[in-house]
């Protein structure tokens, strides 16, 4: 009987939590909260980068189409084109706000797709690499296209 009374007395003394138990609980909750917030921040940043990549992909294709229209309508093929010979301003492409666009130096190609050297090797076909970059440089989308010199009707296209 004495043991039972002792257990009841001990149970009454344990009404609340000790300071150590409270601190441990708060530390566990704090660590869990930090982990959740870090995951949320990573999710937001990843979503932002993905959105920019998607937008830049569309913008670089628009840039390629502007070059295609520029070459088709005005026959402005540039032999051994250097960097930005087909710049956005030259081809009439309006770069969206907060982005930059550029064209790397052209690589002349032979009819079978092998590369040639400049200055004498340009046969009217070039490989261009286009790039559109977001303003914060988190996303860069590149596109490689092949352009050819436009030959008008009745020309020998030498």
Whole-angstrom distance, CA of residue 4 vs CA of residue 137: 73
Mind spelling out the 3-state secondary structure of 47-72? HHHHHHHHHHHHHHHHHHHHHHHHHH
Kindly give the parts of the chain with pLDDT less than 70: 1-2, 4-15, 74, 152-158
Please tell me whether residue 4 adopts helix, strand or coil conformation: helix
Q: Which of 98, 76, 73, 75 is nearest to 87 (CA)?
A: 76
Q: Which of 148, 110, 105 is nearest to 128 (CA)?
A: 105
Position 35 scores a pLDDT of: 94
Position 26 scores a pLDDT of: 94
Position 108 scores a pLDDT of: 86
Instruction: Give the start-to-end residue ranges of the domains of the chain.
Output: 18-148
Position 74 scores a pLDDT of: 66
Position 77 scores a pLDDT of: 82
């Amino acid at each position: 009987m004495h043991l039972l009374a002792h257990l009841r007395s001990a149970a009454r003394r344990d009404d609340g939590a000790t300071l150590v138990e409270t601190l441990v609980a708060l530390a566990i909750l704090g660590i869990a909260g930090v982990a959740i917030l870090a995951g949320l921040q990573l999710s937001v940043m990843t979503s932002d980068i993905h959105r920019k990549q998607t937008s830049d992909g569309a913008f670089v294709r628009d840039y390629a189409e502007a070059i295609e229209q520029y070459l088709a309508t005005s026959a402005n093929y540039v032999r051994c084109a250097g960097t930005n010979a087909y710049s956005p301003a030259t081809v009439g492409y309006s770069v969206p706000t907060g982005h930059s666009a550029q064209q790397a130096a052209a690589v002349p190609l032979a009819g079978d797709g092998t590369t040639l050297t400049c200055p004498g090797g340009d046969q009217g076909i070039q490989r261009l690499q286009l790039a559109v970059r977001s303003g914060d440089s988190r996303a860069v989308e590149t596109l490689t296209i092949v352009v050819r010199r436009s030959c008008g009707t009745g020309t020998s296209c030498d």
